[in-house]
């Protein structure tokens, strides 16, 4: 008898909401995630931040995505205008 039943999970979430309140739950989630990330880094000896793309690379990707979305939107407007 574990948490395999969805009713148990819903009950546990409601209990957490009542005990900690809606304001504290996001803060608890962030701190739990930070703690788990630190624990993983200490076990593996890796720095997960090193695997993330640098800010200029991420900015270039965002710019490319925006340009592509703009082109798609222009194409959609052209097709709609042709109707």
**pLDDT-derived band at 63, boundaries 50, 70, 90:** confident
Q: Cβ contacts of residue 17 below 8 Å, gap of 6+?
A: 25
Tell me the two tokens of residue 50. Answer: 């090193």
Whether 83 shows a pLDDT value over 80: the answer reads no
pLDDT at residue 48 in the model: 58
How high is the mean pLDDT of the chain? 82
pTM of the model: 0.39
pLDDT at residue 54 in the model: 66
Say how far apart CA 35 and CA 26 lie, in whole Å: 14
Instruction: Look up tokens 């703690």; give the residue.
Output: 35
Whether 51 shows a pLDDT value over 70: the answer reads no
Report CA 76 to chain centroid distance, whole Å: 30
Domain extent listing, the chain: 1-51, 53-83
pLDDT at residue 49 in the model: 59
């Amino acid at each position: 008898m574990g948490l395999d039943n969805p009713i148990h999970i819903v009950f546990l979430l409601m209990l957490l909401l009542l005990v900690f309140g809606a304001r504290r739950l996001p803060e608890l989630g962030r701190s739990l995630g930070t703690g788990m990330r630190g624990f993983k880094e200490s076990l593996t000896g890796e720095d997960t931040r090193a695997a993330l793309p640098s800010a200029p690379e991420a900015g270039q990707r965002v710019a490319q995505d925006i340009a592509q979305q703009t082109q798609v939107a222009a194409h959609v407007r052209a097709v709609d205008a042709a109707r």
